Structure 1
Amino acid sequence: MQNPSLSNVMKIVKLLFLLLLVTVLAACSTQPETTEETTPASEETAGDTDNSDEELLLTLTELKKYNGQNGKPAYIAIDGIIYDVTEVSHWKDGIHNGQNAGRDLTDALNGAPHGNEVLEGLEKVGNVKME
């Protein structure tokens, strides 16, 4: 005959084992099946035109489109970096002291009465690429 306390311990162990087994089986059966293929992130954004989080990479020819005219943004390039001057009051309609947005103004800045400090605070939107 078995010891009564040992018998109770065995019953508890069996009960715990069954509880664990049921829990594991329940967890396995509730996992969702994923049969759909996911589209890689690069393919999802490939057709998007709003790349506000990504830096632009424009040739100087492409930069000309961003002249601040007809509701377009006004971008300028200085030392290969493209800056957004659309909301800068001195660049109303993409023009500032005879200079037009949509161009590389590195040489013009070098001859201006101010220095590169005017670039501080401007949003950098991209870089110039070679044509």
Structure 2
Amino acid sequence: MMKVYSKQQLALRNGQDKPEIWVAFQGVIYDVTQSRMWRNGKHYEHWAGQDLTEEFADAPHNTRVFEKFKAIGQLG
């Protein structure tokens, strides 16, 4: 079972406040720290540290993009 993190804990992993860069999608939190596409916690007009589920409809890629990243927890 994965650890559950609050929205506040996720928000701190925005690439600015803490060294980790996390994003959530459909209730799962992914560590995108190593991704050059998420450097400084920003990916095009999207910011790390938040749930991107609703914004994902605008993405030019599909959900398989998350397969590259480690799922580290669940958004509680």
Calculate the TM-score normalised by the size of structure 1: 0.54
Q: Which contiguous aligned blocks of 4+ residues in structure 1 show a shift greater than 4 angstroms?
A: none
Q: Which amino acid in structure 1 is aligned with residue 66 of structure 2?
A: L
Deviation at 1:128, TM superposition (A): 0.5
Q: Using a 3 Å threshold, how does the CA distance of structure 1 residues 64 and 70 change in structure 2: closer, same or farther?
A: closer
CA RMSD of aligned residues (A): 1.5
Calculate the TM-score normalised by the size of structure 2: 0.89
| SS at 1:92 equivalent | helix
| SS at 2:68 equivalent | coil
Distance in 1 between the 2:3 and 2:16 partners? 19
Indicate the structure with greater helix content. Answer: 1
Bigger relative contact order, structure 1 or 2 (CA pairs below 8 A, ≥6 apart): 2
| SS at 1:120 equivalent | helix
Question: Which blocks of at least 5 consecutive residues in structure 1 are unaligned?
Answer: 1-53
Question: Which blocks of at least 5 consecutive residues in structure 2 are unaligned?
Answer: none
Per-residue CA distance 1:37-90 (angstroms, 9 max, x = gap): xxxxxxxxxxxxxxxxx8431111221011111552000000000000000010
- Residue equivalent to 1:89: 36
- Equivalent in 65, 70, 73 of residue 118 of structure 1: 65
Q: For the pair shown, which has the larger CA radius of gyration, 1 or 2?
A: 1
Count residues in correspondence: 76
Q: Percent identity?
A: 33
